[in-house]
Amino acid sequence: MPYHDRAKARMEHEVTILRREVATLRSKQEQRRRAREEQVALQARLEQEVQVLQNELAAARCDREERECGGAEQCSLLTERLEKLDGHVVKQERYIAFLEEQINHTRTKYQQRMSDVRQNAELVEKELKRVRREMRTIAEQAGELDRLQKELGFLNGKLDRRNAIISKYEAQHEEMLAIVAGLQNQLVEKERIKGGGNASPGHRRRTRVRKEKEIAPDKPPVFKDKLKADPSKSDSNSFVYLSTALKKKAVSSFIPPSTSSNQGSSQ
């Protein structure tokens, strides 16, 4: 698997994990909201109970006042009942205070957790943005890598074609050198046979110059109209010029160095 595919898969896996974490945080937030609503409902119910108790207390006080007017026995009974009601009210007030404290504590804890959830959500959002930037960067790098690979393949193809052409030219050059060497040997052999063993230096030089002109003319034909009509043949024409120059060089290299000294001695 290429590097950019592996990096893309890793980034997608991280994005999936982050999305799961966001979903978990949202579900927890929903649960806390429901708990808060339940606590609000419980507080309202308790307040209703307190109101009912207060109403009962007021009614009891009214009854006590009425019974005080009725007699001592009723007054004592009413007093006992009021004491019981007062004790019950005190207990209810303590219970209400405890519930209010719990509600305040729960509200504070809920607010703290909500702030933590918001911070975590911000961190998750930043991480998602970073992952998206990295994915865009990886995609751009992958595109650049594909482009460079295509360009490299194109350049390799051109290099292979150039090497093939050079190999072809080298093979033809070696073949021409072999042909020139064979012709030179034939010329030397003919001169030796014609001269009865050793031909004169002047004769050998004139014969060699004449053969050079026969093998390689001074100015090879130039087909300008054909080159303009068909530019693809420029390589073959340039190869003709190259072969002509190589033939001249090869023929001149086979002239023995003793020729000039023999000419000087004959003069």
| Structural domain ending residue among the three candidates 139, 156, 173 | 156
Count other Cβ atoms within 10 Å, centred on residue 16: 10
First to last CA, the chain: 85
* DSSP letter (8 states) at residue 197: T
Tokens 């966001």 locate to 22
Please indicate, yes or no, if residue 267 is contained in any of the structural domains. no
Q: Domain limits at 143?
A: 3-156
Tokens 């911000």 locate to 122
Q: Are 202 and 266 in contact (CB under 8 A)?
A: yes
Please indicate, yes or no, if residue 109 is contained in any of the structural domains. yes
pTM of this prediction?
0.30
| Structural domain ending residue among the three candidates 107, 134, 156 | 156
- Per residue, the 3-state secondary structure of 122-163, as one string, reads HHHHHHHHHHHHHHHHHHHHHHHHHHHHHHHHHHHHHHHHHH
Together in a domain, 119 and 28: yes
Q: Are 68 and 83 in contact (CB under 8 A)?
A: no
- In tens, the pLDDT along 88-130 reads 888 888 998 898 898 889 889 988 888 888 898 899 889 989 9
- In tens, the pLDDT along 235-261 reads 455 555 555 666 565 555 444 444 444
Together in a domain, 171 and 242: yes
- In tens, the pLDDT along 148-166 reads 999 999 999 999 999 999 9
Together in a domain, 152 and 169: no
Number of residues in the chain: 267
| Structural domain ending residue among the three candidates 156, 178, 211 | 156
